[in-house]
């Protein structure tokens, strides 16, 4: 429910309405008491939070807080030793990343992981892999079903290319693109999978102000236009506070805050974590 | 005698031509647009269906006869359809430059009192909504691209496809109204209103009737033998009269196909894919392409460089002659054919000009080298002289009579005369009806007999009938000895050198001409880099002795060329300085469209001007500059005054070189 520009949380599956009038649905992904250890190092300590359908959810925290580990847990790269994940109402067993992807969770990487030698279009098309049902032989023949399938997938890819305004580099090999554009191509590839949850690992890292503005606009547009649920990790506090509906704050593997940007901003633990206080 | 006009073959309006095309060329492609990576197309029959659906939808929205509909957006078939749709229901389309700021847009929208606005996307919608408080007559807006529009208040907003859908669903009820309005269109009705860019004062709304547009399209299409198989690429602003004539007037008259690029950034590849047969571009586009070709050749292999040099030299020798159908020896023809295989063909293909049958350039003078380069490749590039007020065509070059120094002969149906002050006047079926809500300007531009003043000074060559444009009439003056002073004539010659970006020539009422010169930082900087000349700023590079020497050579060459012209030989540049800063629109020295403001420059740099005439060898100056963010600063410099050799012309009155 909207109240003087702030957002009020409600328990249960009903969701809420954001300040700008977007309807946020029920919980799509719930993390319950997640703990992740690497040998003796505890990367994530007993963290619980949820992601709701249609919202932009940010995970922030200082360096080494465990944000990327968290994202890797969601995308199936890491398997937590304790805790459970409830995805779309049912408990998710330990899975390989490609199985997670098939379930509708797509991601981008902090250090761009595109196929450098391939064109932008081909890279985006790889995002459609889960929608291709024909086998290698059929695709090699490129006839009948395989052709129809590719046309349909190409259309989705082209709509995303149009949406992200990268038409002019459609046929350009990715290796020739500047950093900011590569980031956009990576977003395009993740979107091509038509994900239920889109995970963005530091989408603004290394960008200048203009590129950040562009990327922010695209993230908002994606959320608005396709209703995609977005979970993102970001360093840039200004960007996070403007973009997200709800923010989880982590420090030293622990959750120290969770709420709307305004709530988080006034949280003493969060201020301490960012400004630095003596740790015991 | 006022220009008479018959109803061009019985077609009183654009919608009438649309009906004919939908019958005669029903299955032929009328529009293409690249969208989602492939060319989407509409045949003439499909286009008519779309246009009628839109027209019906507009009637349903409440568009009345005589209403103005502003069109704001880039070249897209849907936006082009608004023109015939508006015509059909008696409304007047007003294309607006889509890159104009909200402020300028507010002026135009308010001036024409548009009740309806057709906007391409969110960006344009936002601009109009920003200024809507100042538009008392504005009522409804239709947008084409629904992206990002969902959250907007739709009380006065409508999506294009929904307007069409309404039109289709209510077709039965609304069709009688549509047919009645269509039947009522006469050749004298307004076809379109286009705003002049307004270099001086506020933009003026030029009202062009159906007769203007259709007669002009007919004449000009016949002049160049345009046919239904032609292809054009629509990429210049819709608000510009040229695009209106090419992409609507001529397209409907001849039934050729209009291709819309995917976006501004993909223009070059779209151009290559379409390979237009009829093409228009302002000189700067041709200049830019030539520069790109030359830079790429510099970086290519030795063998390729040699091929390029050898065959381009041959093309310069015989290419133009072959294009004009003049006699050329068999061996030269063979060599040219060979060059076509190795160089010209691939080059034309890379530029997207493989199929160009008729190409035009206009708007500004084009450098002879650039012009000849394209012609020597076998591209039939021609010059054209026109104005919004004339529905474009005033003079153009017929095939086989193409020269870089004239703009051709009077276009078909156009009468030309030169006024007592040297100004060019014309009269034609394309002459505009009037300036909207501006009787004063109408009266001062167009006289009772229908002659229109162009504002340009020119001469008609007695033996060939070719028109030569010398300068803006108000800039033309007299030297102290009474000979003609035409600064732009000389400035253009100077600017054709890649090293010279701008030149301002002075001499009105004086005995000798002098010039301020701006070097082109890109070109000269590149040269400096290759010759290991280090520089830290524009100012330092501009003052480098070698740069000065090069510019001096250019000036002297120009003097020699100016001397050949009997009437203008007095305009040779005797002394010049290279300015220590670039002339800039932020400092008010140029207009936003990069035209120099003489008066401002004369006042601002009066100390330099004095030095040019009092025999100083050098002059110190301090100039205020405005930075992009509005802050001001000063730069000081000591500039060297250079003397340039002049050529004594035949006339004894000429002062010899010092």
Q: Does A154 touch chain B (CB under 8 A)?
A: yes
Q: How far is B273 from chain A (nearest CA, A)?
A: 14
> Is the per-residue pLDDT at B90 higher than 80?
yes
Are B468 and B481 in the same domain? no
pLDDT at site B652? 42
Q: Compute the distance between CA of residue A79 and CA of residue B605 in angstroms, rounded to an integer.
A: 74
> Is the per-residue pLDDT at B392 higher than 90?
yes
> Is the per-residue pLDDT at B4 higher than 50?
no
Residue contact B37–A158, C-beta within 8 A: yes
Are B539 and B583 in the same domain? yes
Q: How far is B263 from chain A (nearest CA, A)?
A: 8
Q: Compute the distance between CA of residue A71 and CA of residue B245 in angstroms, rounded to an integer.
A: 57
DSSP A125: H
Residue with tokens 């990429």: B235
Residue contact A20–B151, C-beta within 8 A: yes
Residue in B closest to A20 by C-alpha: B151
Contact partners, residue B469, CB within 8 Å, separation at least 6: B365, B385, B407, B424, B456, B457, B458
Residue A75, Cβ neighbours under 10 Å: how many?
20
Spell out which residues of chain B touch residue A171, defining contact as CB-CB under 8 Å: 269
Are B257 and B287 in the same domain? no
Q: Does residue B155 fall inside a structural domain?
A: yes
> Is the per-residue pLDDT at B473 higher than 50?
yes
Q: Where are the beta strands (DSSP E) in B541-631?
A: 573-578, 618-626
Q: Does B40 touch chain A (CB under 8 A)?
A: no
Q: Does residue B131 fall inside a structural domain?
A: yes
Residue contact B147–A159, C-beta within 8 A: no
Q: Does residue B375 fall inside a structural domain?
A: yes
Are B557 and B627 in the same domain? yes
B376: domain CATH number? 3.40.50.12780
Q: Does B148 touch chain A (CB under 8 A)?
A: yes
B513: domain CATH number? 3.30.300.30
Q: What is the phi/psi pair of residue B261, to 5°?
A: -70, 165
Residue contact B37–A154, C-beta within 8 A: yes
Spell out which residues of chain A touch residue B37, defining contact as CB-CB under 8 Å: 121, 154, 158, 161, 167, 170
pLDDT at site A83? 92
- The highest-confidence range among A132-141, B205-214, B457-466, by mean pLDDT, is B205-214
Residue contact A168–B150, C-beta within 8 A: no
> Could you say which residues of chain A have pLDDT below 70?
1-14, 277-280
Q: How far is A21 from chain B (nearest CA, A)?
A: 8
Residue contact A167–B37, C-beta within 8 A: yes
> Is the per-residue pLDDT at B52 higher than 70?
yes
Q: How far is B151 from chain A (nearest CA, A)?
A: 8
Are B358 and B246 in the same domain? no
pLDDT at site B6? 44
Query: Among A81-85, B332-336, B548-552, B597-601, which is the least confidently predicted range?
Result: B597-601
Q: Token pair of A216, please?
A: 């922010």
Q: Give Cα separations from B307 to B209, B228, B292, B350 (angstroms).
A: 52, 38, 18, 16
**Model confidence pLDDT, tens digit, residues B114-152:** 999 999 999 999 999 999 999 999 999 999 999 888 888
B147, B151, B263 member nearest A167 (Cβ)? B263
B35, B150, B263 member nearest A168 (Cβ)? B263
User: What is the CA angle B292-B293-B299, rounded to 5?
Assistant: 95
Contact partners, residue B422, CB within 8 Å, separation at least 6: B457, B458, B459, B470, B473, B476, B484
Q: Token pair of B471, please?
A: 């300068």
Are B514 and B440 in the same domain? no
Q: What is the ipTM of this complex?
A: 0.76
Confidence class of residue B232 from pLDDT cuts 50, 70 and 90? very high
Are B238 and B354 in the same domain? no
Q: Compute the distance between CA of residue B56 and CA of residue B335 in angstroms, rounded to an integer.
A: 60
pLDDT at site A4? 41
pLDDT at site B544? 92
Contact status, residue A115 vs residue A175, Cβ threshold 8 Å: no
Q: Compute the distance between CA of residue B202 and CA of residue B198 in angstroms, rounded to an integer.
A: 6
Q: How far is B483 from chain A (nearest CA, A)?
A: 54
Domain finish residue from B445, B472, B499 = B472
Q: Compute the distance between CA of residue B158 and CA of residue B139 in angstroms, rounded to an integer.
A: 11
Q: A64 or B211: whose pLDDT is higher? A: B211
Are B345 and B244 in the same domain? no
Which of B231, B244, B293, B235 has its CA nearest to residue B265?
A: B235
Interface residue of A168, A169, A188 to substitute, partner B, most B CBs within 10 Å? A168
| Antiparallel, parallel or unpaired: β A197-201 and A229-233 | parallel
Residues 376-435 in B contacting A (C-alpha not used; CB under 8 Å): none
- Mean pLDDT, residues B440-447: 90
Residue contact A159–B36, C-beta within 8 A: yes
Are B244 and B328 in the same domain? no
Residue contact B147–A165, C-beta within 8 A: no
Residue A145, Cβ neighbours under 10 Å: how many?
12
Which of B410, B291, B272 has its CA nearest to residue B349?
A: B272
pLDDT at site B9? 61
- For CATH 3.40.50.300, list the domain ranges present in chain A: 2-104+195-275
**Model confidence pLDDT, tens digit, residues B403-440:** 888 999 999 999 999 998 889 999 999 999 999 999 99
Q: Does residue B272 fall inside a structural domain?
A: no
Q: What is the dihedral of CA B592, B593, B594, B595, to 10 degrees?
A: -110
Q: Does residue B129 fall inside a structural domain?
A: yes
pLDDT at site A269? 86
Q: Does B153 touch chain A (CB under 8 A)?
A: no
Contact status, residue B644 vs residue B505, Cβ threshold 8 Å: no
- The highest-confidence range among A122-131, B161-170, B449-458, B464-473, by mean pLDDT, is B161-170
Residue in B closest to A168 by C-alpha: B266
Residue in A closest to B265 by C-alpha: A168
- 3-class DSSP state of A42: strand
Residues 249-308 in B contacting A (C-alpha not used; CB under 8 Å): 262-263, 265-266, 269
Confidence class of residue B655 from pLDDT cuts 50, 70 and 90? very low
Q: Does A165 touch chain B (CB under 8 A)?
A: yes
Q: Give Cα separations from B240 to B80, B194, B364 (angstroms).
A: 13, 7, 15
Confirm whether pTM is higher than 0.90.
Answer: no
pLDDT at site A147? 87
Confidence class of residue B324 from pLDDT cuts 50, 70 and 90? confident
Query: Among B318-322, B460-464, B502-506, B562-566, which is the least confidently predicted range?
Result: B562-566
pLDDT at site B484? 85
Spell out which residues of chain A touch residue B269, defining contact as CB-CB under 8 Å: 168, 171
Q: Compute the distance between CA of residue B170 and CA of residue B56 in angstroms, rounded to an integer.
A: 8
B365-368 LR contacts (CB < 8 Å, sep 24+): B365/B283, B365/B469, B365/B492, B366/B283, B366/B286, B366/B287, B366/B404, B367/B283, B367/B287, B367/B404, B367/B495, B367/B496, B368/B404, B368/B405, B368/B496
Q: Token pair of B528, please?
A: 């400096």
Residue contact A168–B266, C-beta within 8 A: yes
Residue contact A162–B266, C-beta within 8 A: no
**Model confidence pLDDT, tens digit, residues B504-562:** 999 998 999 999 999 988 888 888 888 888 998 899 999 999 999 999 999 999 999 88
Q: How far is A192 from chain B (nearest CA, A)?
A: 14
Are B357 and B405 in the same domain? yes
> Is the per-residue pLDDT at B46 higher than 90?
yes
Q: How far is B268 from chain A (nearest CA, A)?
A: 10
Range of the domain at B576: 477-643
Q: Compute the distance between CA of residue B2 and CA of residue B211 in angstroms, rounded to an integer.
A: 14
Q: Compute the distance between CA of residue A183 and CA of residue A49 in angstroms, rounded to an integer.
A: 27
Confidence class of residue B594 from pLDDT cuts 50, 70 and 90? confident
Confidence class of residue B650 from pLDDT cuts 50, 70 and 90? low
Query: Among A40-54, A185-199, B264-278, B466-480, which is the least confidently predicted range?
Result: B466-480
Q: Token pair of A247, please?
A: 């923010």
Residue contact B266–A167, C-beta within 8 A: yes
Are B372 and B453 in the same domain? yes
Q: How far is B411 from chain A (nearest CA, A)?
A: 39
pLDDT at site B657? 40
> Is the per-residue pLDDT at B472 higher than 90?
no
Q: Token pair of A29, please?
A: 């992904």
Interface residue of B34, B36, B153 to substitute, partner A, most A CBs within 10 Å? B36
A155, A165, A225 member nearest B36 (Cβ)? A155
Are B562 and B576 in the same domain? yes
- Please say whether the structural domain A2-104+195-275 has been given the CATH code 2.30.30.100: no
Residues 16-75 in A contacting B (C-alpha not used; CB under 8 Å): 20-21
Q: Does A2 touch chain B (CB under 8 A)?
A: no
Q: How far is B85 from chain A (nearest CA, A)?
A: 28
Q: How far is A222 from chain B (nearest CA, A)?
A: 10
- Mean pLDDT, residues B195-223: 88
Q: B458 or B565: whose pLDDT is higher? A: B458
Contact status, residue A158 vs residue A81, Cβ threshold 8 Å: no
Query: Among A48-57, A126-135, B188-197, B307-316, which is the least confidently predicted range?
Result: A126-135
Q: What is the phi/psi pair of residue A86, to 5°?
A: -105, 115
Residue contact A158–B36, C-beta within 8 A: yes
Contact status, residue A120 vs residue A160, Cβ threshold 8 Å: no
Number of domains in chain B: 3
Spell out which residues of chain B touch residue A155, defining contact as CB-CB under 8 Å: 36
Q: What is the phi/psi pair of residue B361, to 5°?
A: -130, 145
């Amino acid at each position: 429910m909207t109240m003087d520009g702030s957002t009020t949380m409600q328990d249960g599956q009903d969701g809420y309405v954001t300040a700008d009038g977007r309807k946020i649905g029920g919980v799509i992904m719930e993390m319950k008491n997640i703990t992740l250890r690497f040998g003796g190092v505890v990367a994530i300590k007993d963290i619980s939070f949820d992601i709701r359908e249609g919202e932009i959810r940010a995970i922030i925290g200082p360096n080494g807080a465990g944000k990327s580990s968290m994202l890797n847990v969601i995308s199936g790269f890491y398997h937590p030793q304790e805790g459970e994940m409830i995805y779309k109402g049912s408990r998710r067993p330990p899975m390989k990343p490609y199985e997670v992807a098939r379930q509708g969770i797509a991601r981008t990487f902090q250090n761009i992981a595109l196929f450098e030698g391939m064109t932008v279009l081909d890279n985006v098309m790889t995002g459609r892999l889960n929608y291709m049902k024909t086998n290698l032989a059929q695709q090699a023949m490129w006839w009948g079903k395989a052709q129809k399938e590719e046309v349909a997938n190409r259309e989705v890819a082209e709509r995303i290319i149009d949406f992200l305004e990268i038409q002019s580099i459609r046929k350009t090999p990715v290796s020739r693109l500047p950093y900011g554009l590569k980031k956009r191509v990576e977003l395009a590839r993740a979107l091509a999978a038509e994900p239920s949850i889109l995970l963005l690992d530091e989408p603004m890292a290394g960008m200048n102000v203009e590129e950040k503005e562009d990327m922010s606009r695209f993230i908002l547009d994606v959320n608005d236009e396709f209703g995609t649920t977005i979970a993102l990790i970001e360093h840039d506090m200004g960007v996070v506070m403007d973009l997200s509906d709800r923010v989880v704050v982590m420090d030293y593997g622990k959750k120290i805050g969770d709420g709307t940007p305004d709530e988080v901003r006034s949280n003493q633990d969060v201020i301490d974590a960012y400004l630095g206080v003596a740790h015991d | 005698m006022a220009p008479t006009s018959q109803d061009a073959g019985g077609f009183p309006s654009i919608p009438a031509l649309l009906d004919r095309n939908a019958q005669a060329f029903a299955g032929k492609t009328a529009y293409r647009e690249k969208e989602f990576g492939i060319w989407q197309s509409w045949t003439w029959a499909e286009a008519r269906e779309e246009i009628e659906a839109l027209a019906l939808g507009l009637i349903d929205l409440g568009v009345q006869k005589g209403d103005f509909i502003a069109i704001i957006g880039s070249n897209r078939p849907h936006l082009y359809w608004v023109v015939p749709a508006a015509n059909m229901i008696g409304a007047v389309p007003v294309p607006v430059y889509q890159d104009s700021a909200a402020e300028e847009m507010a002026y135009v929208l308010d001036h024409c009192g548009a009740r309806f606005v057709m906007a391409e996307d969110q960006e344009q919608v936002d601009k109009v909504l920003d200024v809507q408080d100042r538009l008392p007559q504005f009522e409804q807006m239709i947008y084409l691209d629904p992206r990002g529009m969902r959250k907007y208040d739709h009380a006065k907003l409508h999506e294009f496809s929904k307007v069409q859908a309404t039109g289709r669903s209510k077709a039965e009820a609304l069709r009688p109204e549509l047919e009645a309005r269509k039947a009522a269109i006469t050749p004298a009705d307004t076809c379109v209103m286009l705003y002049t860019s307004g270099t001086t004062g506020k933009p003026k709304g030029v009202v062009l009737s159906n007769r203007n547009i259709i007669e002009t399209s007919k004449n000009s299409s016949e002049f160049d033998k345009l046919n239904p198989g032609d292809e054009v690429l629509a990429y210049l602003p819709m608000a510009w009269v040229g695009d209106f004539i090419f992409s609507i007037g001529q397209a409907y008259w001849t039934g050729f196909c209009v291709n819309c690029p995917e976006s501004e950034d993909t223009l070059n590849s779209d151009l290559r894919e379409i390979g237009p047969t009829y093409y228009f571009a302002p000189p700067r586009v041709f200049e830019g392409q030539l520069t790109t070709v030359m830079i790429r050749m510099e970086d290519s292999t030795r063998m390729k460089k040699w091929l390029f040099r050898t065959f381009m030299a041959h093309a310069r020798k015989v290419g133009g002659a072959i294009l004009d159908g003049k006699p050329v020896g068999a061996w030269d023809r063979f060599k040219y054919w060979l060059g076509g295989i190795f160089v010209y063909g691939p080059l034309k293909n890379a530029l997207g000009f493989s199929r160009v049958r008729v190409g035009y350039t206009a708007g500004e003078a084009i450098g002879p080298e650039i012009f000849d380069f394209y012609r020597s490749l076998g591209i039939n590039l021609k010059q054209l002289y026109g104005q919004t007020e004339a529905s474009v065509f005033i003079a153009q070059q017929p095939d086989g009579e193409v020269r870089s120094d004239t703009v051709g002969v009077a276009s078909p149906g156009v009468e030309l005369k030169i006024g007592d002050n040297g100004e060019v006047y014309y009269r034609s079926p394309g002459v505009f009806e009037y300036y909207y809500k501006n009787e004063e300007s109408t009266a001062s531009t167009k006289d009772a007999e229908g002659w229109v003043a162009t504002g340009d000074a020119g001469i008609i060559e007695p033996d060939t009938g070719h028109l030569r444009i010398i300068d803006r009439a108000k800039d033309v003056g007299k030297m102290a000895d009474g000979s003609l002073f035409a600064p732009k004539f000389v400035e253009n010659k100077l600017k054709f050198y890649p090293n010279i970006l701008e030149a301002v020539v002075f001499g009105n009422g004086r005995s000798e001409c002098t010039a301020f010169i701006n070097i082109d930082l890109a070109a000269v900087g590149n040269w400096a880099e290759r010759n290991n000349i280090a520089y830290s700023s524009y100012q330092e590079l501009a003052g480098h002795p070698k740069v000065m020497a090069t510019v001096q050579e250019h000036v002297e060459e120009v003097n020699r060329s100016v001397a050949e012209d009997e009437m203008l030989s007095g305009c040779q540049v005797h002394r010049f300085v290279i300015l220590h800063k670039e002339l800039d629109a932020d400092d008010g020295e140029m207009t936003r469209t990069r035209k120099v403001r003489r008066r401002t420059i004369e006042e601002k740099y009066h100390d330099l001007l004095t030095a040019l005439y009092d025999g100083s060898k050098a002059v110190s100056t301090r100039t205020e500059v405005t930075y992009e963010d509005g802050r001001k600063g000063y730069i000081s410099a000591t500039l060297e005054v250079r003397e340039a050799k002049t050529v004594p012309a035949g006339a004894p009155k000429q002062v010899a070189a010092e």
